Each structure stands twice: as structure tokens, then as C-alpha cells.
Amino acid sequence: MALPKLQTPEYKLLLPSTQEEIKYRPFLVKEQKILMIAQESGDENQLADAMGKLVFNCTFGALNVNESPMFDIEYVFLQLRSKSAGAKVKINVTCPDDEETQVEVEIDLEEVGVQHSVEHSQEITITEDVKLNLRYPMLKDIKGINGDFGEFEIGILMIHECIESVIYGEEIIHRVDMTMDEISEFIDSFNTEQIENVMKFFQTMPKLRHIIDVTNPKTKKKGEVLLEGLESFLV
């Protein structure tokens, strides 16, 4: 006698970037195994691949993981985790008043969302005549970046990958018309103020954000802790 085929529930969510509604399902044991193997390997590229495959499979192929913003991927992954292993997670955070006392807090993943900053813009002014249009980082962009890179180096790499076009006066130069060497030379010509303005794009771009209230058990002082990015919510 054949074993029964189990029915997997389906849910719906809205993608933060487009507000498009897509269906998704919880991840299965076979998919969780792949994710756990990738996590245990310590290989960030393997982990990125595993997360991408999981999100693709669990959204029934509706989400193109190689062409979607990372904040979409992270949001969907968090929803998958919520429906697959439970919405409540416990993590340790540092109390803001003394910046050393650790407290355990419980977070409801279903309350975590992608927040947009009013200061954010995809068009960055370099000079009076030159402007830069950037797209959001994607899963394919972070592959090859590991712990050996510093924060500044990662920022430069992300700028290199995310340039979509350069506006020079009345002319628009599209990515397809640029060579890799030309992009590198262009970025290298930025002064300190200009590179800082471009870096603000990544600092203020949409991302998973959640604020929690904490009370320091030693000082009894209350404070708020800001959690950002997928890694903040994974145990």
C-alpha cells in the first residue's frame, strides 16, 4: 500500500518592492536539510545558493531570486521561516544604556517588515552635471563577498554592481554601454564627500527593521533596540 501524500498549506504575501501578491508554502524537511548543510559549511556562497533555491521553490517559481532586491528575498525568507518553524523566536540583544548587558527577548516574526526611509533616493547627485542611478543589491551581487572584505571594500563592490546609469548633463549613459574598467575608473575618481553620498544609498535603502523595548535587569533602565537585516532575526 502506498504511503499518503501530505498536503502542504499555501499562504499569500505582498512583495515589499512592488506590492505584488504571491503565493508561498512552508519549506519541507528536504529543503531544511539543504539549508542546514549550507549553514554548517560556513560557506557564504553555498548559504546564499541554498536560501535562493528555498525561496524559489517555496514561492512556486514566482520570485526570480537572481533579479529581485535582497530585501524582497529576506522578507520572503522570514515569512517562510515563520510558517515553517513558528513565528516566535528568542534572541539575545544588548541593552543600549550600558552597551554590555545581554537580555533575551521574544520576537514575533510576523510583525517584522521592510521599512522605507524618507531620506532614501535611487538617484544620487555626484556633481552639478553628474548624477548616478543605482538599483538595489540582489542575491547574485553578494556571492563572492566574504569575511575577508572590509565594510568600505564591500561598499565599493556594491556600487560597482548596482550602477544602472549615469546622467551627464542631458545625456544618459546606460550600464550596457559601460565597460567594467570604465566603471572602476569612474568610482575611483570620487572624492570623500561624493563616495559618502553614494554610500548613503545602501545605508538608507529598504531593509528588514524592527524596534523592541528592553529593560536592563542591572540598571532597570528602559530603552529601544533596533534590529536590521535578516541575520538579526535568525537564531
* pLDDT digit string, tens, across residues 62-80: 999 989 999 999 999 999 9
Angle subtended at Cα 15 by Cα 116 and Cα 67, rounded to the nearest 5 degrees: 95
225 close to 214: Cβ distance less than 8 angstroms = yes
In a domain, 3, yes or no: no
Q: How many helices (H) and strands (E) does the chain have?
A: 7, 11
Give the residues across from 207 on adjacent strands.
Answer: 115
| Residue 18: Cβ within 10 Å count | 11
Same domain? For 73 and 101 the reply is no
Overall pTM surpassing 0.85 (yes/no): yes
In a domain, 117, yes or no: no
The predicted structure's pLDDT at residue 2: 81
In a domain, 1, yes or no: no
In a domain, 231, yes or no: yes
Same domain? For 107 and 133 the reply is no
Q: What torsion do the CA atoms of 95, 96, 97, 98 make, to the nearest 10 degrees? A: 60
In a domain, 118, yes or no: no
Asked which of 41, 71, 86 is the last residue of a domain, the reply is: 86
Angle subtended at Cα 83 by Cα 68 and Cα 227, rounded to the nearest 5 degrees: 65
Return averaged pLDDT per consecutive 10 residues of the chain, 235 residues in all.
83 95 92 85 82 93 92 95 91 93 93 92 95 94 73 90 95 96 96 95 94 93 93 79
Same domain? For 97 and 131 the reply is no
70 close to 139: Cβ distance less than 8 angstroms = yes
Number of domains in the chain: 3
Cα Rg, the chain, nearest whole Å = 21
The predicted structure's pLDDT at residue 131: 96
Same domain? For 128 and 179 the reply is yes
In a domain, 161, yes or no: yes
**DSSP secondary structure letter of residue 175:** G
Same domain? For 12 and 81 the reply is yes
> Which domain covers residue 149, as residue numbers?
123-204
Same domain? For 36 and 97 the reply is no
Same domain? For 55 and 169 the reply is no
In a domain, 188, yes or no: yes
Angle subtended at Cα 34 by Cα 78 and Cα 41, rounded to the nearest 5 degrees: 100
| All three cell numbers of 12 | 499569500
The C-alpha atoms of residue 120 and residue 152 are separated, in whole angstroms, by 20
Same domain? For 33 and 22 the reply is yes
Angle subtended at Cα 133 by Cα 132 and Cα 135, rounded to the nearest 5 degrees: 140
Same domain? For 106 and 212 the reply is yes
